[in-house]
Chains A and B, each alone.
Chain A
Amino acid sequence: MKKEEILLGNGAIALGLLEAGCQVVTSYPGTPSSEILPEVIRLIKSENLNTYVEWSTNEKVALDNAFAASITGKRAACCMKQVGLNVAADSLMSAAYLGTVGGLVIISCDDPGPHSSQTEQDTRFMARLAKVPVLDPSNPEEARKMVGLAMELSEEFRVPVILRPAIRVCHARQNIVYDSLPANPKKSAFEKDPSRWAATPRFRLILHGELNKKLKEIGKKFDTLTPYNFHSLEAGRKYPLGIIAGGVPYAVIRDILEEEKRTDLPVLKLGTPYPFPEALASEFMGACDKVLVIEETDTLIEYLLRDRNKVLGRLSEHVPLEGEMVPQVIYGLLDRTLRELNLQGFEGEKDTEAMELVKGLQLPVRKPTLCPGCPHRAAFFAIRKTRPKAIFTSDIGCYTLGMNLGAVDTCLDMGAGITMASGFYHAFTQDGVDQPIVATIGDSTFYHSGTAGLLNAVYNGSRFILVILDNLTTAMTGMQPSPSMGIRADGSEGRAISLERIVAGCGVDFIEVLDPYDIKKMTDVLKKAAEYIKEPEGGIAVIIARHPCLIAYRAEAIPEKKKVMVTDDCAECNFCVDRFECPAIYHDQELGRTNINPQLCSSCGVCIQICPKGAIVEVA
């Protein structure tokens, strides 16, 4: 029965996977990819499918798992954010050579902007590096269709295929019509072939040759893959300027040209930029004196065009080298380029009066902050208070926002809270300098890539305090379960993995578990840990600061609510506002002192412990 729903782009991708009969979906959460797996789960539950799903511990693990399913003949997919593909790169590069049996689609979601990532890297270049095809959808509906195309290509040519939706596809919403979903009854069968599945370098050379042949054939297929690659040239006509675009920029350009009624500007849409559809691109270039390339986020198409004299884009500074290609940016750069070439510019409004007005209004800067009642805030407060001179290495998650409390100095990549701590330790110790270091990492990030760094740090004799901020969930990306609770992706019961046991297994002898809401306890343990790391037999001290996330666990997270107020003892020192940085505590200009916003306050009561004057008290 046909249904029409307004789906998130990630929901459309999930739909596409199940429409293509995908039997295994693995993922590690990360914006903007996080909703794909939950949407798959929603659909398999409503349609009663037996697709296997998992939140894997990291992206490499996810890809390895999906790859194994693929070589049993099943269709499999693996979803992650773009920087997750760095983690999975080892698997990807090798899988490209080995090839697939059942379709294998890797969905790597890019974040131009960046809105919620450490880089603006372009997954299409990873595809080029790994030598696997990449598809670049312009909107949710196309992403859904491209998933099916990717599965077919992967099976036909026996190669993994990457789908690269950018954030404006993942987090777009569009009405989508769909029918009931097929069940895929394919059974697993593994045909042993060590020269392929366990190939040694001698065989790898042969496999590389095979891969190159596949790419050549796929490139030819892409030349005529008209629903995804096409142009609007009129036969025999010559044009002073043509536009080449893919992904989200293509959608924006289509809308702009339609509004401006510009049929004089031909567009070549490249939905499958690699392997490059050479013949199609040459045909387009042949009809245009110049071509302007507008792509996200980097210069893949621009590099792949052969006639360099005709190409305008990022390298010629016609297109910004960084930042998101939002409609006003594309509109402005197209208009400027047209005028530069003495062609007719656009007619719509271009004035920047409103932007300048807004700049002049001095509107409040809304920096992201930890939620009221967040247990990380309590932990960071205690860390900063106890070890004020330390270098604070941290990691990726909500707790990166601990920088607002002055308790996060570094954030490099997943797991670097620990590895950078050991790096700092050795760099300073080499000079004979006793530099205090406190590392922080969240539970999910620790399971993702903490253990290798911790093993290394213990093995190589580093000394620092590591605080594992265990809020029993993966909070920043939307409350996906982490292995600490043993709840699996579909809500079923899995096996809980104890952080304490992993840490002990890594060779750590100092392990304390506490609730960071108890700031006195936390500071006492931090002091004890600081002494331990200096002892001759000391080493790394690990504190597991465990308290459930308030968003994930709601009322359960604060079993004893403490309604608080500020008394007349407040000396207006602003210590609480500056150092505790709770959104519910503010300087009330009318009262002339600190006050509590009851709508924001979570009644966690932690602030009672931090006021130097004792002026924050529980309401009797």
Chain B
Amino acid sequence: MNTINMVLCGLGGQGILFMTKVLAQLALDKGYNVMGAETHGMAQRGGSVVSHLRLGNVQGSLVRTHEAPLLLALEENEGYRNLPFLAKGGRLYVNTASPLFPREDVRSFLAKKEIIPRSVPAGRIALDLGAPMSSNLALLGFFSAFEDDPFDYETMRQTIGKISPDRFRDMNLSIYDAGYQEGKKG
């Protein structure tokens, strides 16, 4: 299996660690070795939070710049901040409701690097379903609509069901599904 590198980012409190946990568990269930790096401590108090995830036989937990085909951002500016990690031809998934995404001054860079930017109003989807803190699940659903194995919709759904606490399970799955539907629409 080739190594899959990904970077997940956003702000403290947006649920990046849970999103990373879903993807890591999913990969493990599919037979990958998993290595990841998280942000804890001082940096978590409202600051930028980044999580690195590496699937495959690797030794180190951090993704090198230019090496991630996948970048998931729960906040638009944090997505831009982590652009250096994206590989040529990579996919950028961003939670934003802005019709101007991606901002004008990054477009030529994205085109040159053949990066596909996709955005989804994950925050709004989660809010509409009554769980404003769960934009992470809407983004995951949206992401699964464009990706194949190992990040296919059905298996990821099972993983979310498995690791969600009982009282949040149904809500998490409905937000995940709504994100997926949004992706399929586009």
Contact = CB atoms under 8 A, between A and B. Distances in A.
Nearest to A583: B46
Residue of B34, B59, B132 ringed by the most chain A CB atoms within 10 A: B59
A31 B41 contact: yes
Contacts of A139: 35, 59-61
B109 A353 contact: yes
Interface residues of B, number: 46
Contacts of B181: none
Contacts of A250: 59
Nearest to B36: A173
A285 B77 CA distance: 48
B184 interface: no
Contact of A252 (B21, B38, B60, B87): B60
Residue of A32, A368, A401, A583 ringed by the most chain B CB atoms within 10 A: A368
B40 A171 contact: yes
Given A6-B28, A116-B40, A173-B24, A168 B34 contact: no
Nearest to B88: A349
B80 A358 contact: yes
A348 B45 CA distance: 35
B174 interface: no
Interface in A346-379: 348-351, 353-355, 357-358, 360-361, 363-364, 366-371
A358 B24 CA distance: 28
B106 interface: yes
Contacts of B44: 368
A484 B108 CA distance: 57
Contact of A138 (B20, B37, B59, B83): B59
Interface string B41-81: 11111111000000000111111111100000000010011
Interface of B is mostly: mixed
Given A4-B28, A139-B60, A364-B77, A476 B42 contact: yes
B33 interface: yes
Interface in A1-22: 4, 6, 8
A331 interface: yes
Contact of B38 (A173, A254, A354): A173
A366 B84 contact: no
Given A6-B34, A357-B109, A115 B42 contact: yes
A174 B60 contact: no
Given A168-B37, A171-B37, A172-B35, A255 B60 contact: yes
B155 interface: no
Nearest to A478: B40
Contacts of A326: 62, 64
A252 B62 CA distance: 8
Contacts of B16: none
A358 B84 contact: yes
A358 B21 CA distance: 28
B46 A116 contact: no
B8 interface: no
Nearest to B21: A6
A477 B24 CA distance: 24
B73 to A, nearest CB: 12
B105 interface: yes
Nearest to B112: A353
B121 to A, nearest CB: 15
25 contacts: A8-B38, A32-B40, A115-B39, A168-B37, A168-B62, A173-B36, A174-B61, A251-B58, A252-B60, A326-B62, A348-B67, A351-B66, A354-B86, A354-B109, A358-B83, A358-B84, A361-B105, A363-B77, A366-B11, A366-B46, A368-B47, A370-B45, A476-B45, A478-B40, A599-B132
Interface of A: 4, 6, 8, 31-32, 34-35, 115-116, 138-139, 168, 171-175, 248, 250-252, 254-256, 326-328, 331, 348-351, 353-355, 357-358, 360-361, 363-364, 366-371, 398, 401, 476-478, 583, 599
Interface of B: 11, 20-21, 24-25, 28, 33-48, 58-67, 77, 80-81, 83-84, 86-88, 103, 105-106, 109, 113, 132
